[in-house]
């Protein structure tokens, strides 16, 4: 339950067809304090793609026309480890320009454009939250193993974009929280080729992420948090 948001808050989950996205939608719909949960996935409420800014702008326009009022919580659960048949690179010799650029587009540029076009739908003068699934491998300081070049670089870029956006958003919405979120190892279609049956259920990850966001302070800076609410070094 999101106690820090107003009674009757409105929520939007982007990437709602994925394992964690679905779990977030279900958790929010079970919260009696949440008046509305809007779920967006590819093709819903219209066809859109992270690599097509025009489609993202159209999605924002459609939501603005449909929503009865401003949003208080936006959760972006988009992202991909394997894109166009390419998975994470394990060595320098595996690097190719096209997969690197594709990972940046899907995991950093696309989410930044979602923030650009959808943040105007956030309420003003009250607490609002923008939470984006990131990854611990996006931490530069915490990189002790190497590998996963494109995914690491994309998540690090995403984190910088979120930090910069948080500073700007705070000027107009000083009660806004912007957070990069590490859900932990979760059994989803995205992670299954890499973790198998290891990891937690999506419902547990969703519950932890919502609790972390509920406790997060509005500081005018982005936060990088794991599913237990613990800070992760940038």
Asked whether 126 and 107 are in contact (CB, 8 A), the reply is: no
Question: In the structure, what pLDDT confidence band is assigned to residue 107 with cuts at 50, 70 and 90?
Answer: very high
Six-digit token string for 145: 């193993």
Asked whether 208 and 228 are in contact (CB, 8 A), the reply is: yes
Check whether 74 has a pLDDT greater than 70: yes
CA distance 160 to 194: 26
Q: What confidence score (pLDDT) does residue 197 get?
A: 60
Q: What confidence score (pLDDT) does residue 200 get?
A: 84
Check whether 196 has a pLDDT greater than 60: no
Per-residue model confidence as pLDDT tens digits over 129-138: 999 999 999 9
CA distance 210 to 216: 10
Edge-to-edge strand ranges of the sheet holding 34-40: 34-40, 9-14, 73-76, 128-133, 176-182, 223-226
What is the set of domains in the chain, with CATH numbers? Answer: 9-226 (3.40.50.720)
Residues linked to residue 75 through DSSP beta bridges, in sequence order: 13, 131
Residues linked to residue 179 through DSSP beta bridges, in sequence order: 131, 223
What share of the chain has pLDDT > 90, as a percent? 90
Per-residue model confidence as pLDDT tens digits over 77-104: 999 999 999 999 999 999 999 999 999 9
Check whether 6 has a pLDDT greater than 90: yes
The alpha helices in 94-146, defined as continuous H runs, are 97-104, 110-118
Q: What confidence score (pLDDT) does residue 103 get?
A: 97
Q: What confidence score (pLDDT) does residue 67 get?
A: 95
pTM comes to 0.94
Burial class for 100, CB neighbours closer than 10 Å (0-12, 13-18, 19+): middle
CA distance 206 to 119: 22
CA angle 78, 228, 20 (to 5 degrees): 25
Question: In the structure, what pLDDT confidence band is assigned to residue 190 with cuts at 50, 70 and 90?
Answer: low
Work out the average pLDDT over 146-164.
97
Asked whether 140 and 153 are in contact (CB, 8 A), the reply is: no
């Amino acid at each position: 339950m999101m106690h820090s948001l107003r009674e009757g808050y409105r929520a939007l989950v982007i990437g709602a067809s994925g394992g964690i996205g679905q779990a977030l939608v279900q958790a929010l719909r079970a919260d009696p304090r949440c008046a509305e949960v809007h779920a967006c996935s590819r093709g819903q409420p219209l066809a859109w793609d992270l690599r097509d800014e025009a489609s993202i702008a159209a999605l924002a326009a459609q939501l603005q026309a449909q929503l009865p009022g401003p949003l208080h919580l936006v959760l972006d659960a988009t992202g991909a480890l394997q894109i166009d048949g390419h998975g994470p690179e394990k060595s320098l010799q595996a690097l190719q320009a096209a997969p690197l650029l594709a990972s940046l587009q899907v995991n950093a540029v696309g989410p930044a454009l979602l923030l650009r076009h959808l943040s105007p739908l956030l309420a003003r003068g009250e607490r609002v939250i923008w939470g984006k699934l990131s990854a611990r491998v996006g931490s530069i300081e915490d990189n002790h193993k190497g590998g996963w070049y494109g995914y690491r670089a994309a998540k690090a870029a995403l984190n910088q974009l979120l930090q910069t956006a948080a500073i700007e958003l705070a000027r107009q919405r000083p009660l806004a929280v912007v957070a990069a979120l590490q859900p932990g190892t979760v059994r989803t279609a995205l992670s299954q080729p890499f973790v198998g049956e290891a990891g937690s259920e999506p419902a547990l990850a969703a519950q932890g992420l919502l609790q972390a966001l509920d406790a997060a302070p509005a500081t005018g800076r982005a936060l990088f948090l794991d599913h237990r609410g613990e800070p992760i070094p940038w």
